[in-house]
């Protein structure tokens, strides 16, 4: 089952960003990931939380593939730099409808 990494990022120190994008993008792809969105073009329709600087959605073929990427030794130093230079949330979302009503794309 597909799994989506969803991140809301507020950058506090831009020093890590350029190198992160250049080096991490091929790492994600090597683990079967595919970027669906990496953007600062956001429009709030509801809610009280402030908008993040960047919103990211990466599709992985499975939860296991997402974990392999996230826990990989080659990603670790980039993850640490991102965590030191930003705040936000990074979550995994299963590609399913728990109510079993909607048809989820394969």
pLDDT > 90? residue 18: yes
Q: What is the dihedral of CA 7, 89, 28, 94, to 10 degrees?
A: -80
Residue 97, pLDDT score = 77
Mean pLDDT of the chain: 95
Q: Report the share of the chain in percent with pLDDT over 70.
A: 96
- Please check whether residue 54 is in contact with residue 11, taking contact to mean a CB–CB distance below 8 angstroms: yes
Residue 106, pLDDT score = 64
Q: Identify which of 64, 53, 68, 65 has the alpha carbon closest to the alpha carbon of residue 10.
A: 53
């Amino acid at each position: 089952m597909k799994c989506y990494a969803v991140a809301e990022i507020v950058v506090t120190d831009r020093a890590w960003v350029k190198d992160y994008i250049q080096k991490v993008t091929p790492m994600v792809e090597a683990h079967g990931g595919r970027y669906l969105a990496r953007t600062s073009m956001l429009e709030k329709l509801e809610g009280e939380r402030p908008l993040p600087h960047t919103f990211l959605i990466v599709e992985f073929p499975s939860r296991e593939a997402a974990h392999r990427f996230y826990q990989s030794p080659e990603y670790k130093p980039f993850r640490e730099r991102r965590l030191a230079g930003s705040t936000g949330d990074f979550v995994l979302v299963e590609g399913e409808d728990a109510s079993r009503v909607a048809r989820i794309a394969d």
